[in-house]
Amino acid sequence: GAGVSQSPSNKVTEKGKDVELRCDPISGHTALYWYRQSLGQGLEFLIYFQGNSAPDKSGLPSDRFSAERTGGSVSTLTIQRTQQEDSAVYLCASSPGMLSNQPQHFGDGTRLSIL
Amino acid sequence: EDQVTQSPEALRLQEGESSSLNCSYTVSGLRGLFWYRQDPGKGPEFLFTLYSAGEEKEKERLKATLTKKESFLHITAPKPEDSATYLCAVQGGSEKLVFGKGTKLTVNP
């Protein structure tokens, strides 16, 4: 399809394990964003990419969280030594990036559960 | 700090009963206010962008309006398929969106 694709759709892992979440943005979109949605909370910004660089990492909650983007396309969000409070839906969005106030288009997210 | 407050948290309507959802915001230099619809287990689906006070956008039974302090999403003669959580977000001085917690709308047949 032509939308933002995220994988896996669901991930269950044990506390202390590392996880990798993948995002494939809409073709041609240069801007990519990661958000987190916890139960009862609004969407919380994590990180923004323009091309392969990340000019805004201000939302990453701790140094256990990191993200990269290669080839100006696919992005991976990595959480090391997972904790139970990391359980949430992780959403990825992309936008054309040519004009910075264009709408962001979201994938369906990865639902992460930490046992 | 940019902030968004949505009300009510939940709203139950009968089919055909029109109503409005509110989004109050504070932001340094509004570059855009965005409305999204989110169905259970899905990501937010883009509805509208509003850029300046006085602007209005319409799509089917939905109409979004914007003032300097708030936005309204008016729903005219809603149908059960309009049931969803509606999210409001603002973009200020950075690229990120700041979201409210949403209004969960249920439309009963």
Q: pLDDT, tens digit, for every residue of A27-67? A: 999 999 999 999 878 899 999 999 889 889 999 999 999 99
Counting Cβ atoms within 10 Å, is residue A57 exposed (0-12), middle (13-18) or buried (19+)? middle
- What is the mean pLDDT of the segment spanning A1-19? 95
Please report residues of B whose CB lies closer than 8 A to that of A102: 49
Q: Which of A101, A110, A113 to mutate to test the interface with B (most CBs of B within 10 A)?
A: A101
**CA distance linking residue B93 with residue B27, whole number of Å:** 8
> Does residue A100 register a pLDDT over 80?
no
Mode of pairing for the β-strands spanning A110-114 and A10-13: parallel
Beta-carbon separation of B44 and A91 below 8 A: yes
Q: How many Cα atoms are found within 13 Å in the side-chain-facing hemisphere of B10?
A: 3
Nearest CA distance, A28 vs chain B (angstrom)? 18
Burial B53-90 (b: 16+ CB within 10 A, else e): eeeebeeeebbbbbeeebbbbebeebeeebbbbbbbbb
Which residues have C-beta within 8 Å of that of residue A95, sequence separation ≥ 6? A29, A31, A33, A102, A103, A104, A105
Contacts of A50 in chain B (CB under 8 A): 95
Mutate to test the interface with A, among B2, B7, B96 (most CBs of A within 10 A): B96
> Which amino acid type is present at position A52?
N
Amino acid at A108: D
> A48: which chain B residues are within 8 Å (Cβ-Cβ)?
94-96
Q: Are strands A19-24 and A5-7 parallel, antiparallel or unpaired?
A: antiparallel
Closest approach of A16 to chain B, Cα-based (Å): 26
* B95–A106 C-beta distance less than 8 A: no
Considering chain A, what percentage of its residues have pLDDT values greater than 90? 82
Spatial CA neighbour of B82 closest among B39, B46, B42, B41 = B39
pLDDT at position B41 over 70: yes
Average pLDDT estimate for A13-35: 96
* Closest C-alpha among A81, A102, A88 to residue A34: A88
Q: If you measure CA to CA, which chain A residue comes closest to B86?
A: A42
- Label residue A1 by pLDDT band (50, 70, 90): low
Dist CA A3 CA A13 (whole Å): 27
Residue whose structure tokens are 């904790």: A83
CA B77 to chain A, closest CA, distance in angstroms equals 27
